[in-house]
Structures are given as structure tokens and as C-alpha cells.
Amino acid sequence: MEEGEGGKALTNIEDFMDFYRRVPRPNMIFSVIGDSDNLIPKPWPKSRFQQSLIYAAKAAGECWILSKGEPLTVSKIIREMMEEHIYLEKAASKSLRLISVPSKPVEDTGLYFDLPEVLEDDGDQAKKNQTHQNDSNFVNLSVPSEVEDYLEFRIKLERTLERPTDKERNALVVILVEGDLSTVDHVKLATENGIPVMFVKGTGGLADLMSISM
């Protein structure tokens, strides 16, 4: 995962915005939400969603995707999508980045995706290339330990990315996939702050309920 100065993971929004200013600015930011521990899963075409999101991200040019980054359903879908984009298509471009904002440390990233055997059997140099490529496209933002409310931190990050300066405004959309009642507050705060929210109907949970009520 991408690291900040001195080899330490980016640990707060100020550090992250310093990183933001040192790399190409994103034309589009997708903040994907809906992770849940207690949601009863509903079968839905996850691969179609992954393809659509990748196409949209590539069409935007420079694009960042935010997710909770924990080994839960929605974050896992996003992580697998990015792994496939990087490893299977051997995409060397840094124009698409996954920004993980976990509420707690995620030590075993192997929970997300198993590399195909053809890549596991590549030579040492190929593995080094893949590792470097992985570091270029994945960024980890650790929530500071003194932060008590993860949602408050996440909304602040989204607002900061949407309006990095008084004169700038980025295109940012919150995408709700699945989700449970705990996700309601994120949707509420996003809309109150003028951030558009898109519900992916057919994925179950809150996304379906919100689609019906709108």
C-alpha cells in the first residue's frame, strides 16, 4: 500500500491531502459505501457492477475509488475488482487508485483475493514489478486512534476531497451498494453536505429500500 514520508502509512487527513497535492489530481472520485457485518446477503450480479465501475473510472481519466477497506462484502468486491484490473489486465497506469479507509487495521490483505497461478509462478523480477505496480495503485489511510467516530472522519475526508481548496471542486459521488441501517447516517450526512448519492438497485439491503422510496 502507498506510504507517506518516512515509510509510515498516511494517518490523518492533513497527511493525505499532502499526498493528494503531490500526485495527479483525480477528475472523478467514487466513494463506495454499504459494508455490513449483519446484512443477510442477497445474490446479485457483482461482476456486472465491477465492470461498470471500472468502465466509469477509466472513462473519467484520473479516478480515485474510496472504500472502507475491511474484508467485508462491499469492500471485498471493490478490492477484487482492483486486483483484477491491476494483475489480470496488467494495467501499469496510476490513473486509477483505490483509497482504503478502514475503521480498524486490516493486516491480512490476502483475505480479499487469490492471485491466479500464472502470476504466482512468474519469475522474481515479474513479482517485483507486480508488487511495485500494486503499491502505485493502492493507498491506505489509517484513521487516527484518537478519532471516536469513523463516520464523522469519513464524511470529513469526502468533504475535503470534494472541496480541496476554496476555489476548487472535484466531482465526487457516494455509491451505496447493499448497506444496512447503520449506513443511513452516511447517506444522510452526505446529502446534507451536498454530496450526491447513487443507490445501486438490486443489491439488497438499504440500497433497495432507498431506491423504492425515492
Q: Which CATH number fits domain 5-213: 2.40.160, 3.40.50, 2.60.40, 2.30.30?
A: 3.40.50
pLDDT band at 140 (very low <50, low <70, confident <90, very high): confident
What CA–CA distance (Å, rounded) separates 97 from 143? 18
Residue 99's SS3 state is strand
Residue 197's SS3 state is strand
pLDDT band at 23 (very low <50, low <70, confident <90, very high): confident
Mean pLDDT for the chain overall: 81
- Residue-wise pLDDT for 25-45, tens only, equals 899 999 999 998 766 778 899
Q: Is the pLDDT of residue 121 over 50?
A: no
Q: Is the pLDDT of residue 7 over 50?
A: no
Residues in contact with 134: Cβ distance below 8 Å, sequence separation at least 6, in sequence order: 86
Helices assigned H by DSSP within 163-214: 184-192, 205-213
Q: Is the dihedral of CA 187, 192, 193, 194 positive or negative?
A: positive
More confident residue, 131 or 178: 178
Q: What are the residue boundaries of the structural domains of the chain, listed by start? A: 5-213
What CA–CA distance (Å, rounded) separates 74 from 114? 17
pTM as predicted: 0.84
More confident residue, 135 or 150: 150
Whether the Cβ atoms of residue 56 and residue 95 lie closer than 8 Å to each other:
no
Whether the Cβ atoms of residue 179 and residue 32 lie closer than 8 Å to each other:
no
- Residue-wise pLDDT for 62-114, tens only, equals 999 999 999 888 999 999 999 888 876 665 567 899 999 998 877 766 666 55
What CA–CA distance (Å, rounded) separates 29 from 39? 26
CA 117 to chain centroid, in Å, comes to 26
